Structure 1
Amino acid sequence: MIKLLSKLVFFAIILVMLMTAPTALASSDGSQHYLCGGEPLEAIAFTGPVDAADIPNSNGGTVPGAFLVLRWRNGTLQLPRTNNAGVPSYTDGRWWWQALDPDHPEFAQLRGDVQQYRCEPEPWA
């Protein structure tokens, strides 16, 4: 009986985690669609929790604690907001994103030789 109860609790926790994950909460209405490296990419920005309300760099309506979810090449990346001055940028140390020009954001992989992927708005979006 205890094994059954612990399994039910485990599955309930997993279900709650799946329902509250960024990809589950993201609506495609607020996402941006691009072709990056010739392949479809969806970018979804989240404001995220903030530890300190007085952080001075809040350009673009974001502050450190915000993050960006990128869906690309059958995978999902979650990139945290950097604290760099200016237009918001996002990186996890390997992938980097910045939309200085919203129609042509900069997207790169920072492993070994830097690989940059040309991005442009999806023609049908």
Structure 2
Amino acid sequence: MNIFSLLLSFLISITPSESFYCDGDPLTVVIRNNLNGDFELVTDLEKLDQGSFIVLDWKDVSLMLPISFQKNEISFTDKKWLWSYQDNERGLHQDSPRFAQRLPSGEVVEHECKLP
């Protein structure tokens, strides 16, 4: 088994946290499945379906981002905002997921997120 498979197995077995501090401000996370229209609350990333989405509340921003089917990562994006439990360049970050915002200029702002 190569290291990549081991990391991916660990990633799939983690449970997403419900709250973080991003750039010093509280951020709440709710993940739901909606493949069958049931809006089922997800507490285990292994149980995500094709209709999954994440709801993020942070500062004065409320976001609902659909799951993004990127190879080797679990992420949600609307192509302006990104929430990811794995960044291919930095490795696995359950305790500090990647939270990024693309500005109209094309610049990408990375918001630092940590568990409380």
Structure with greater helix share of residues: 1
- SS of equivalent to 1:103: coil
Structure with greater strand share of residues: 2
* Higher relative contact order structure (alpha carbons within 8 Å, sequence separation ≥ 6): 2
Relative to the length of structure 2, the TM-score reads 0.66
Counterpart amino acid of 1:115?
V
Partner of 1:103: 95
Identity among equivalent pairs (%): 31
Please tell me whether Structure 1 or Structure 2 has the larger radius of gyration of its CA atoms: 1
Instruction: Summarize deviations over 1:16-56 as a string: whole Å, max 9, x none.
Output: xxxxxxxxxxxxxx861101111110011111216xxxxxx
Gaps of 5+ in 2: 1-15, 37-44, 87-92
How many equivalent pairs are there? 86
Counterpart amino acid of 2:52?
A
Counterpart amino acid of 1:118?
E
CA distance in 2, matches of 1:120, 1:41: 10
Q: Aligned-pair RMSD on alpha carbons?
A: 2.1
- Compute the displacement of 1:85 (Å): 2.1
Structure 1 residues 44 and 31, CA gap change in structure 2 (3 angstroms): farther
Partner of 2:110: 116
Counterpart amino acid of 2:97?
P
Deviating 4+ runs (over 6 angstroms):
none
Gaps of 5+ in 1: 1-29, 51-58
Contact 1:35/1:121 (<8 A) preserved: yes
Counterpart amino acid of 1:114?
V
- SS of equivalent to 2:68: coil
CA distance in 1, matches of 2:49, 2:69: 8
